[in-house]
């Protein structure tokens, strides 16, 4: 399965916010630096995430972005839909001949079925689960680096 660069940036950005953002609002510039995402793309993506109700923007000094809901209640499917639109496409057959649309091939039912199944799996995958996976994989968490106090 291929994921667009825009989707990779969106998931990387909101993951960063969920994984490292427990200390209050996080500036988008910081997220971009940590994830290697160009700022101008990340700004556009976070506008879409905000419109979808997945993140909130805090203005002013100490401002930045926070998750709008708990990481347990935000699914990967929601992030995907926020940046790419509807995830389940219906076959486009209007105005097409049966040869052009592939109708009559017996497999017409398959594509919406597979799309709905994949979306169902992604709807069950929360940001919290991704964060737990990252922790198990040893991804360092901001502020969790042990300090070496030597005298």
Span 5-88+109-137 CATH architecture: Orthogonal Bundle (1.10)
d(CA 116, CA 63) in angstroms, rounded, equals 38
- The rounded distance, in Å, linking the Cα atoms of 91 and 83 is 21
List the structure tokens of 127: 């940001």
Note the pLDDT tens digit of each residue in 35-94. 999 999 999 999 999 999 999 999 988 889 999 999 999 999 999 999 998 766 655 555
Instruction: Check: CB of residue 91 under 8 Å from CB of residue 109.
Output: no
Tell me the pTM. 0.79
pLDDT digits (tens, 9 = 90+) for 17-37: 999 987 889 999 999 999 999
Look at the chain and count its residues: 151
**Every domain of the chain and the residues it spans:** 5-88+109-137
Q: Where are the beta strands (DSSP E) in the chain?
A: 55-58, 64-67
Q: Which of 61, 111, 108 minimizes the C-alpha distance to 89?
A: 111
């Amino acid at each position: 399965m291929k994921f667009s660069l825009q989707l990779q940036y969106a998931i990387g950005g909101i993951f960063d916010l969920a994984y490292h953002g427990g200390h209050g609002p996080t500036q988008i510039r910081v997220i971009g630096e940590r994830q290697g995402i160009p700022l101008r793309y990340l700004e556009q993506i976070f506008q879409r995430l905000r419109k979808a109700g997945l993140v909130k923007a805090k203005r002013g000094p100490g401002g930045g972005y926070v998750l709008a809901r708990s990481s347990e209640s935000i699914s990967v499917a929601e992030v995907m839909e926020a940046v790419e639109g509807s995830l389940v496409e219906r076959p486009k057959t209007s105005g097409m001949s049966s040869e052009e649309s592939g109708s009559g091939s017996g497999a017409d039912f398959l594509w919406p079925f597979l799309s709905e199944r994949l979306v169902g799996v992604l709807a069950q995958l929360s940001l919290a689960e991704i964060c737990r996976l990252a922790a198990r994989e040893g991804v360092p968490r901001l502020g969790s680096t042990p300090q070496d106090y030597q005298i």
